[in-house]
């Protein structure tokens, strides 16, 4: 399902102040695409996700699912979207895992056999099979999160919205989520939007990344492009330090120092131009940036 976000703005008003959560956001997400939305706390990620699934009405602009405006077709949107917003809080504590799956399955119009088959499949996949009949209030946070994810998946949604899906998950479960997301996007043509701070998840998904800051989209690129762009700007230098020779650049990120030899990273191209002809420059190579470094660079406006 194609998602079009056009000029989306949203503010929260209280008696004392107005907080602008989204400012003129424009995005197009194609069917089968996985998009990671990143940003600091309060950047507007959850507001964006809630606007897409129709849980929040924007002040201006609109979200379109296959050309239909979400807030004029709420039942259409709710029928096709699944969202895990606060995983561990999205389930009934006094019901067992299976009862939760059955309850939401019935409300989503699934038949008994379909519920049983899907529940068995996903409970096995997320290693919850033996906890099927345990009330979820006895679950760990990660297990509750898994139950919430299974509920979202059982609906077989065309748009899947996940707010911090791997929060509290062990590595194996996190990998299972990643595998399922890839499968849903590639085989099923589902559009998947994830807000996360999980570097491992972002790295493994290798998806499109939308960076948000103060309610605005500040960068929208695929992870490989961001890595390439970042690598073009950043270099690892091995330099022999001598009295009277060039000093380390102001942004030098020192990695190693032995005697008069220093290994560091820099993105200061003017400094590099000055030392390129110097005999003190032992080695220079392009850096590969980690997701965390890319995030910091984008959010500080250096990428």
Partner 1 sequence: MRNGVQLLKAECLKVFGDVKIYWLNYAFGNLNVFFMFLGLFYAFSKGSQDQLGKLTFLFGLMYWYFGVHAVDLMGLLMEEEIQQGTLEQLLMTRTPLSASLFFRIVAQTLFDLAKGVFVFAVCMWAFAINLSQILSLRFAASVAVFFIGLLAMYGFGYMIAGLSLVYKQASSIASVSSTLILFFSGTTIDIAAFPGIVQALVRLFPFYWSNALIEGILRLDGSGMARSGAVLLLELAAWTMGGIWTLHRCLRVVYDCGTAGNY
> Does 191 contact partner 1 by CB under 8 A?
no
Stretch of 101-109, 187-195, 229-237, 241-249 contacting partner 1, by CB under 8 A: 101-109
Q: For residue 134, state whether it binds partner 1 (rule: CB under 8 A).
A: no
User: Distance from first CA to last CA of the chain, Å, rounded?
Assistant: 31
Residues 59-98 that bind partner 1 (CB under 8 A): 71, 75, 78-79, 81-83, 85-86, 89-96
Minimum separation from the CB atom of position 84 to partner 1 (A): 9
Binding mask 198-237 for partner 1 (x = CB under 8 A): ----------------------------------------
Q: For the sheet containing 235-240, what is the strand order?
A: 253-258, 261-266, 235-240, 281-286
Strand 81-84 and strand 159-163: pairing?
Answer: parallel
Q: Rule CB under 8 A: is residue 166 a binding residue for partner 1?
A: no
- Tell me the torsion sign for CA atoms 265, 269, 270, 274: positive
Asked if 57 is part of the footprint of partner 1 (rule: CB under 8 A), the reply reads yes
Q: Which is nearer to partner 1, 83 or 262 (CB)?
A: 83
Q: Which is closer to partner 1, CB of 83 or CB of 298?
A: 83
What value, to the nearest 5°, has the Cα angle with vertex 87 and ends 85 and 93? 130
Residue 24 half-sphere exposure toward CB, CA atoms < 13 A: 1
Closest alpha carbon to 9 in 53, 82, 75, 62 = 62
**Residues lying near partner 1 in the complex (CB under 8 A):** 10, 12, 47, 50, 53-57, 71, 75, 78-79, 81-83, 85-86, 89-96, 99, 102-104, 106-109, 135, 148, 151, 155
């Amino acid at each position: 399902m194609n998602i079009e976000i056009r000029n989306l703005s949203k503010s929260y008003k209280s008696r004392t102040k107005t907080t602008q959560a989204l400012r003129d956001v424009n995005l197009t997400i194609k069917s089968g695409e996985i998009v990671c939305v990143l940003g600091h706390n309060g950047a507007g990620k959850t507001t964006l996700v809630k606007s897409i699934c129709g849980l929040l009405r924007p002040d201006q602009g609109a979200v379109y699912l296959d050309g239909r405006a979400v807030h004029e077709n709420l039942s259409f949107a709710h029928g096709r979207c699944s969202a895990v917003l606060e995983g561990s809080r999205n389930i009934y504590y006094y019901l067992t895992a299976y009862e939760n799956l059955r309850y939401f399955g019935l409300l989503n119009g699934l038949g008994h056999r379909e519920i049983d088959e899907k529940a068995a499949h996903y409970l096995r996949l997320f290693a919850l099979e033996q906890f099927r009949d345990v009330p979820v209030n006895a679950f760990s946070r990660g297990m509750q999160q898994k139950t919430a994810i299974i509920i979202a998946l059982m609906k077989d949604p065309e748009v899947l919205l996940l707010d911090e899906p791997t929060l509290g998950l062990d590595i194996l479960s996190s990998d299972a989520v990643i595998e399922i997301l890839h499968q849903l996007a590639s085989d099923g043509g589902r559009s998947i939007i994830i807000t996360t701070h999980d570097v491992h998840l972002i790295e493994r998904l290798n998806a499109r990344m939308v960076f948000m800051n103060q309610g605005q989209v500040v960068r929208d690129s695929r992870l490989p492009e961001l890595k390439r762009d970042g690598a073009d700007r950043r270099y690892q230098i091995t330099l022999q330090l001598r009295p009277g020779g060039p000093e380390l650049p102001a942004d030098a990120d020192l990695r190693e120092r032995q005697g008069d030899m220093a290994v560091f990273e820099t993105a200061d191209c003017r400094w590099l131009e000055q030392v390129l002809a110097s005999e003190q420059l032992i080695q220079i190579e392009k850096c590969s940036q980690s997701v965390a470094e890319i995030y910091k660079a984008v959010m500080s406006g250096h990428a």
